[in-house]
Chain A
Amino acid sequence: MVERKPMTWVERLYMWNIMKGMWITFRHIFKKKATISYPEQKRPFSPVFRGLQILNRDEEGRENCTACGLCAVACPAEAITMEGAERKKGEEHLYREEKYAAKYEINMLRCIFCGLCEEACPKDAIYLSETFAPSNYQRKGFIYGKDDLLIPHPKTNPVEYKKALGNRANKPQHEQQ
């Protein structure tokens, strides 16, 4: 129960308490600002942050995904669609397994960024990166195809590859599996 004491004489004058309040707000002028100037300055993420998905390649730049569909089955939001295709002769430098995903789409408006696809994948082919807040003018822009999802090639574009790998690059290999 809240006990309401009658106000004392000083409290009833308002002024003293108002001055105290003003002093508090005045001190805040000199405090450190809590704001992070977002586009220039980014908040550090926790190691388990889950952002947009990335389709991984191995060290030689071959796509890991074998279009097994486990991720699509695991996905609670049914955001993943894919079509498999057989690897032809001479495409060994492109795809690691004999079967690959010819089409792989994630609907970012459906995705809830739960990370179950990453956990389901037996090939370490998909993981959730630290990129977030996708923006677009149209709904269809949120359906990310392979062009949007694939990680940059580690040989031809090592800088971007490192960046896309994010924190995972620092993790020891056995933890990634």
Chain B
Amino acid sequence: MMHLLAMDWGFVVEKMILIISIVSISLVIAMYETYAERKVAAIIQDRRGPNRAGPFGLFQPLADGLKLFMKEEIIPNTSNKMLFVLGPCLAMLTAMMTSAVIPWGDRIHFTLFGQDRYVSLQIADINIGILYIFGVVSMGVYGIMIGGWASNNKFSLLAAMRGASQVISYELPMGLSLIALLMMTGSLKMSVIMGQQLDGWYNVLYQPLGFFIFLVCAFAECNRTPFDLPEAENELNFGYHQEYSSMKLGFYLFAEYINMFISSAVMVTLFWGGYDIPFVNDTELVKNIGYNWMALLQGGTMFIKVALFIFLFMWVRWTIPRFRYDQLMNLGWKGLIPLALLNMVITAAVVLWLKK
């Protein structure tokens, strides 16, 4: 009992608030990603995009969400009901979980009951941060697998199988490209990797090839065009979510957008200096304006960087046609893995040579 009382309840409350705000921010961002996607698609195709609901069509995501909620909920008779419901839940859950280890800013500072408190803007700074991300991301494919399998429909099943093999194939080069990065940083902890880039020398400058491989694999992991084979509309009738309707379909679509957001955030943190403000000496600046303003600026910088990546995702989607399945596998196994291995060997040699 005494033990419980002695616990730092303030810590728990702070973390709760942080978790809730990051989850809701991710959701809002995912919502507006759908809007941005349609706008980007339209602009690239010389159209205007949604512009009727509210000013500039800004309420369009709300209207879409409402529509999805109001739709009739259909669960196929021959499906496995429990797994059918579990699929989208799992997809959504794993999409949300990754955000826990990403540092969104340095820290904020306030005084409570005469006590100075510093709150780090990272939910959990665990020392296996990257492994955690990999673990959760590879769980994400279960959402697709279970959904596609439980639908009891051959197209969904085919799509699920495609999805599974695609994600597994692309996790390998992704991991290999990260190993090269980890050899340089010497830590799996997100905050350490992040902190090493605060001087403005971002990891992408040392690891351009590694970043490139990671980027391609991130596209594949998020099932985005050109690697959106699990939901290939014209071959597989919308793939694994063919049988889904109403908000369960919404969850799948939403999970894709959250995944996009999170993987952009991961790329920014690992390779592009995370919340570091470029061309500014952060440690000097923080002395002048204090922690809270700094956190705001850093968070803003982070989001701008992430937004640029999200734009890249969309830009690529509306440019490149989908790969054929054998091309996808060829690229993964014969292209990216040897390249990643090469990158790893070169990095290892350079690291060794510098140490000597």
Which residues of A pack against B, CB within 8 Å? 14, 18, 21-22, 24-26, 28-29, 31-35, 37
Contacts and interface: CB of A to CB of B under 8 A. Distances in A.
B45 A28 contact: yes
B43 A21 contact: no
Nearest to B46: A34
Contacts, number: 32
B319 A32 contact: no
A26 B316 CA distance: 10
Interface string B12-36: 0000000000000000000000000
B43 A29 contact: yes
A28 B316 CA distance: 14
Contact of A37 (B48, B315, B318, B331): B48
B44 A28 contact: yes
A142 B320 CA distance: 46
Given A28-B43, A29-B43, A22 B48 contact: no
A33 B320 contact: no
Contacts of B315: 22, 25-26
B314 to A, nearest CB: 10
Nearest to B212: A15
A18 B51 CA distance: 30
Contacts of B46: 28, 31-35
B71 interface: no
Contact of B320 (A18, A28, A29, A34): A18
Closest 3 CB pairs of A and B: A25-B319, A35-B48, A34-B46
Given A22-B315, A22-B316, A25-B319, A34 B43 contact: no
Contact of B319 (A14, A21, A31, A33): A21
Contacts of A14: 331
Contacts of B44: 25, 28-29
A20 to B, nearest CB: 10
B204 to A, nearest CB: 16
Contacts of A28: 43-46
B320 A21 contact: yes
A33 B318 contact: no
Nearest to B321: A21
A28 B45 CA distance: 7
Nearest to B318: A25
A115 B130 CA distance: 72
A14 B323 CA distance: 11
A29 B45 CA distance: 8
Contacts of A34: 46-47
Contact of B47 (A22, A24, A25, A35): A35
Interface string B63-87: 0000000000000000000000000
7 contacts: A21-B319, A25-B44, A25-B315, A25-B319, A29-B44, A33-B46, A37-B51
Nearest to B323: A14
A32 B316 CA distance: 21
A33 B45 CA distance: 8
A9 to B, nearest CB: 14
A130 B315 CA distance: 40
B220 to A, nearest CB: 14
